Amino acid sequence: MDNLVMATPEQSVTERVERIAQPTPSIEPAPPLTFAVKNLSIWYGEKRAIDNVTLDVASNAVTAIIGPSGCGKSTFLRALNRMHELVPKTRMEGTVLLHGEDLYSRSVDPAIVRRRVGMVFQKSNPFPTMTIGENVIVGLRLNGVRNQKFLNERLEKSLRMAALWDEVKDDLHKPGTSLSGGQQQRLCIARALAVEPEVILMDEPCSALDPIATAKIEELIYELKARYTIVTVTHNMQQAGRISDYTAFFYLGRLIEFGPTTKIFTNPSERQTEDYITGRFG
């Protein structure tokens, strides 16, 4: 809990190593967890958007959230870094643990949560007043990092991780909005990576992109999962099948089914899941 409030490096590292090293008390040895969501419900005013969802997100894996529009998948994603709180009159119940720490504890600053849980949006949104380079390091700069050498290193590293460095390295001073749609989205991924989050949430990151740009992002997601835990919302079944290790199917705010992607897509246990995946509704 403490390292959410004050991130002293040594302490949090040891804690986390301990956490990871501790065997989970279950019969099967389960992979390490990033999020443990328990009995989560969320209301927007009177409307209940998420209804009693319990779900575990595995580390260094891609978890896809699928479901028809309005099923609460975006809201669920946003609850993982407290972005849903930006909508006025929201209320939530239940717990969300990030590596065992309650994200919604009173002493936790949402800004710290969001540094550890980054986000990429449906519509690419590089800041229009900034250059490509400024866009990448803006999170660090606004969070008080001043060391120019360090910023330059992070800039290159983040762009390389986002597979964008070779395309933009000579144009870092150009406005971020001068890039193509797919490049802009990768720029946004680089921007999220620059603050070194542990998790990256993606809210339909490819829905506004053409197939070639989409393929690049998917490839990138595959590479990123070696270092990051990724949760992505998608309305594209094929995409969920291609990129994810686990899939969660939401319907009307409820989690209908959750499990390894191969199982969900080949042998779903719920009728609704099967109907949705085979395109009979949604």
Site for other proteins in 32-71 (CB under 8 A): 56, 58, 60
Indicate whether 28 belongs to the interface with other proteins (CB under 8 A).
yes
Task: Quote the least distance from Cβ 125 to other proteins, whole Å.
Answer: 4
Task: Quote the least distance from Cβ 32 to other proteins, whole Å.
Answer: 8
Candidates 1, 2, 6, 39; binder of other proteins (CB under 8 A) is: 6
DSSP structure string for 35-85: EEEEEEEEEETTEEEEEEEEEEEETTSEEEEE-STTSSHHHHHHHTTTGGG
Candidates 37, 65, 195, 248; binder of other proteins (CB under 8 A) is: 195
Site for other proteins in 68-87 (CB under 8 A): 81, 83, 86
SS3 5: helix
Site for other proteins in 250-279 (CB under 8 A): 258-260
Task: Quote the least distance from Cβ 43 to other proteins, whole Å.
Answer: 18
The nearer residue to other proteins, 127 or 165, going by C-beta atoms, is 127
**Torsion angle defined by CA atoms of residues 257, 84, 227 and 172, in that order, rounded to the nearest 10 degrees:** 140
Q: Do residues 251 and 257 lie in contact, with contact meaning Cβ atoms separated by under 8 Å? A: no
Intra-chain end-to-end CA distance of the chain, in Å: 40
Task: Quote the least distance from Cβ 140 to other proteins, whole Å.
Answer: 7
Cα–Cα distances (Å) from 256 to 46, 72, 234, 276, in that order, read 22, 12, 16, 11
Task: Quote the least distance from Cβ 39 to other proteins, whole Å.
Answer: 17
Q: Do residues 73 and 65 lie in contact, with contact meaning Cβ atoms separated by under 8 Å? A: yes
Nearest one of 204, 276, 269, 187 to 239, comparing CA atoms: 204
Lay out the sheet containing 246-251: strands in order across.
117-120, 199-203, 229-233, 62-66, 246-251, 254-260
By CB under 8 A, the count of residues binding other proteins is 56
Site for other proteins in 103-162 (CB under 8 A): 109, 111-116, 118-119, 121, 123, 125, 127-129, 138-140, 142-145, 147, 150, 154
Q: How far apart, in whole angstroms, are the C-alpha atoms of residue 85 and residue 193? A: 23
Site for other proteins in 225-244 (CB under 8 A): 227
Nearest one of 260, 235, 236 to 248, comparing CA atoms: 260
Task: Quote the least distance from Cβ 145 to other proteins, whole Å.
Answer: 5
Task: Quote the least distance from Cβ 42 to other proteins, whole Å.
Answer: 17
The nearer residue to other proteins, 81 or 234, going by C-beta atoms, is 81
Structure tokens belonging to residue 169: 């390295």
Q: Do residues 62 and 230 lie in contact, with contact meaning Cβ atoms separated by under 8 Å? A: yes
Q: Which residues bind other proteins (CB under 8 A)?
A: 5-9, 12-13, 16-17, 20-21, 28-31, 56, 58, 60, 81, 83, 86, 88, 109, 111-116, 118-119, 121, 123, 125, 127-129, 138-140, 142-145, 147, 150, 154, 188, 191-192, 195-196, 227, 258-260
